[in-house]
Amino acid sequence: MKRFDLMSQVNSRGTFLCSQKALPYLLKSANPHILTLAPPPNLDPKWWGPHTGYTLAKMGMSLVTLGLAEEFKGRVAVNALWPQTVIATDAINMIPGVELSACRRPDIVADAAVAVLQQPFTQASGRFYIDEAVLREAGVSDFDVYAVEPGKRLLPDLFL
């Protein structure tokens, strides 16, 4: 239960709390955005059965995104971003059997976040962006620059 509580506190509660604390400042901003790193909502049992706690924590973030997007519609853009492929992070490093060479570097998510946050806040809210699709729309065509090992087959990310 300690691990479950921690995941819930960091993910869904953390998303809600950080958003609430930032909103007074965002409402005074010229281009206010909240961008959560959360997957598109998905009720497919294949994600829920093997790791219910983790899935609930991540989907909680997605539901907070949907709720805040509706609550602050027209005043603050509230969207989410999720990677197309597994990203080489310290957390992934802790999962046995995941080859980092089959992952992308975190830069792809950062570049996609910049592209989302630079658009006018009135352009979109309540959307669940995928990093590669965002960058393709922005004109990026060479994704090998993001690969840990260019040319290697990439692992698709969780929840996609």
CATH of residue 20 = 3.40.50.720
Looking at residue 84, what is its pLDDT?
97
pLDDT digits (tens, 9 = 90+) for 87-123: 999 888 778 888 899 999 999 999 999 999 999 999 9
Is 120 contained in some domain? yes
Q: Number of folded domains in the chain?
A: 1
Global pTM value? 0.93
CA 83 from centroid of its chain's CA atoms: 7
Burial of 62 per CB tally in 10 Å (0-12, 13-18, 19+): buried
- The answer to whether residue 152 is domain-embedded is no
SS3 82: strand
- pLDDT confidence band for 16 (50 / 70 / 90): very high
Sign for the CA dihedral angle at 147, 151, 152, 153 comes to positive
| 142 or 51, which is more confident | 142
Q: What is the mean pLDDT of residues 56-66?
A: 96
- Enumerate helices (H) and strands (E) in the chain, giving the number of each: 7, 3
Active-site hit among 25, 54, 129, 146:
54
Give the separation between CA 81 and CA 64, rounded to whole angstroms.
Answer: 13
Q: What is the pLDDT, as a whole number, of residue 6?
A: 92
Residue 129 catalytic? no
The yes-or-no verdict on residue 46 having pLDDT over 90 is no
